[in-house]
Amino acid sequence: MKINIPESNQERIVIIGGGFGGLMLARKLSYSNYQVVLIDRNNYHQFQPLFYQVAMAGLEPSSIVFPLRKHFQKIPNVYIRVTEVEAIDPVNKRLQTQLGHVNFDHLIIATGANTNFFGNAELEHKAIPMKSMGEALYLRNRILDDYEKALSITDYEQRQGFIDIVVVGGGPTGVEIAGSLAEMRKYILPKDYPEMDCSEIDIYLVQSGDKLLKGMSDEAAAKSYDFLTKLGVKVILNNRVTAFDGEWVTMKDGTKLHAKKVIWAAGITGAILPGLSTEAIGPGNRLIVDRHCRVQGQEHIYAIGDIALMKEDAYPEGHPQVAQVAMQMGKYLAKAFKNKQKGREVQPFAYRDLGSMATVGRNRAVVDLPNWKFQGFFAWLVWLFVHLFQLLGTRNKVMVFINWVWNYITYDQALRLIIRPRIVHPAAEQTTKGPDANA
């Protein structure tokens, strides 16, 4: 079966993934002389840098997602299809999806990355990742639900399992989650659970390396460590989690931590789709591309963002897997396609490092700009401004700003809701529908 997309004399560019790179490419190709088909499993774009604030009940989910169709309203050459891509057929220039197949003249893979559990099936099954809105909401439910249960438990050791949390991975995501948890313990939980001794809550951040925020400056690493320890986070360096049975966390050195929740932020791996040659897959499960974002061995298939492994002199092991790389690749590729139609020369891609940053909570952040490194309150303001500016939609910007101001003034949050999906038993569902439901 073929997906219904209007036929056109325009060349068709199919983009897989509505993340930072894929969405930027589609936006820049709006009103161009190409037919653009954007495919994603969701009908919205997710702002991943703020997932942790949804998980910590600081922001509502709707404020950091943006409907794809809303962005492309009244743009005649862009089509949205919500489905899963199952395989790529490079020879016949065709994609197979759950809705059917779609042909392409040019294919851009912007599937991003999945959580990397490094082959540990037990951790993959029981740890909690943070790569989607659904996972962020699940984490919020687990945290709040476990605190509710802990109130009724009198045994100290059993209670610790419910209230202690282990965060694995000392990159920006792990640091931001740990800092947010520490602030929740300090400002929020004593108000919500006055009968609980919040000093019993232990928050662990485990990093396999000898410093936090690998890839950022030594000053940023040292300051983030200082910020976290002052917030009461127990930072464990030069160690790693090897096992988690749902009750006890086992470390490489044999240490065991009692916690029912392990938040996994320790690494990512490329989200590869079936159909491409294994020779095109490089380290980190990323697709090897040339300086024009073309996948190795392919003429009309490209990759951008986290999934793309492009080597430059300044980045011999590939670019960092951050939003800025994806967005710059999206802009570059849109310009390259337009230049091709005009017969202009296409220059190779060159990444421009705009800096890195991470927040460790209220008034605490670290920022590394190309020629300037700073930490503390001003860095925190810069972090707020940059992330607010990058959000899609005026409503989202306003809602996030209001939430941030409210939380800052009141030291409180109003989104601590445990929302569970309703599960309907098949037999009950049939009874509800009745015998004439399908008539």
Please tell me the distance from the alpha carbon of residue 317 to that of residue 104, in angstroms, as a whole number. 31
Q: Are 172 and 360 within 8 A, CB to CB?
A: no
- Count Cβ atoms within 10 A of the Cβ of residue 402 and give its class: 0-12 exposed, 13-18 middle, 19 or more buried: exposed
User: How many other CB atoms sit within 10 Å of the CB of residue 15?
Assistant: 28
Coil, helix or strand at residue 99: coil
Q: Are 372 and 217 within 8 A, CB to CB?
A: no
Containing H/E element for 308? strand 308-309
User: How many other CB atoms sit within 10 Å of the CB of residue 30?
Assistant: 16
Relative to beta strand 106-109, strand 301-303 is parallel
Q: Which residue has the tokens 């520490």?
A: 182
What are the CA-CA distances from residue 43 to residues 23, 84, 396 (Å)?
Answer: 12, 12, 16
Cα dihedral 18, 20, 25, 31 in deg (nearest 10): 70
- CATH number assigned to the domain with residue range 121-266, chosen from the 4 options 3.20.20.60, 3.50.50.100, 3.40.50.300, 2.40.160.10: 3.50.50.100
Q: pLDDT at position 414, please?
A: 61
Gyration radius of the chain over CA positions = 23
pTM of the model: 0.89
Name the class of domain 11-115+269-341: alpha beta
Phi, psi for residue 169 in degrees, rounded to 5: 115, 120
Task: Tell me the domain boundaries of the chain.
Answer: 11-115+269-341, 121-266
Please tell me the distance from the alpha carbon of residue 231 to that of residue 237, in angstroms, as a whole number. 17
Structure token digits, residue 230:
């002052």
Phi, psi for residue 289 in degrees, rounded to 5: -125, 160
Three-state SS string over 338-384 comes to HHHHCCCCCCCCCCCCCCEEEEEECCEEEEEECCEEEECHHHHHHHH
Q: pLDDT at position 14, please?
A: 97
- The closest of 269, 282, 336 to 115, measured between CA atoms, is 269
Decide if 11-115+269-341 and 121-266 have a common fold.
yes
Q: Are 196 and 147 within 8 A, CB to CB?
A: yes
Q: pLDDT at position 62, please?
A: 87
Q: Are 107 and 11 within 8 A, CB to CB?
A: no
Q: pLDDT at position 61, please?
A: 87
227: left (phi over 0), alpha (psi -120 to 50) or beta: alpha
Q: Which residues are catalytic?
A: 176
Phi, psi for residue 168 in degrees, rounded to 5: -110, 120
Q: Are 334 and 292 within 8 A, CB to CB?
A: no
Digits of tens for pLDDT over the chain (439 positions)? 888 888 889 999 999 999 999 999 999 999 999 999 999 999 999 999 999 988 888 888 889 999 999 999 989 999 999 999 999 999 999 999 999 999 999 999 999 999 999 989 999 999 999 888 889 999 999 999 999 999 999 999 999 999 999 999 999 999 999 999 999 999 888 888 899 899 999 999 999 999 999 989 999 999 999 999 999 999 999 999 999 999 999 999 999 999 999 999 998 999 999 999 999 999 999 999 999 999 999 999 999 999 999 999 989 999 999 999 999 999 999 999 999 998 898 899 999 999 999 999 899 999 999 989 999 999 999 999 999 999 988 888 998 998 888 888 877 766 676 776 665 555 544 444 444 444 3
First-to-final CA distance of the chain: 27
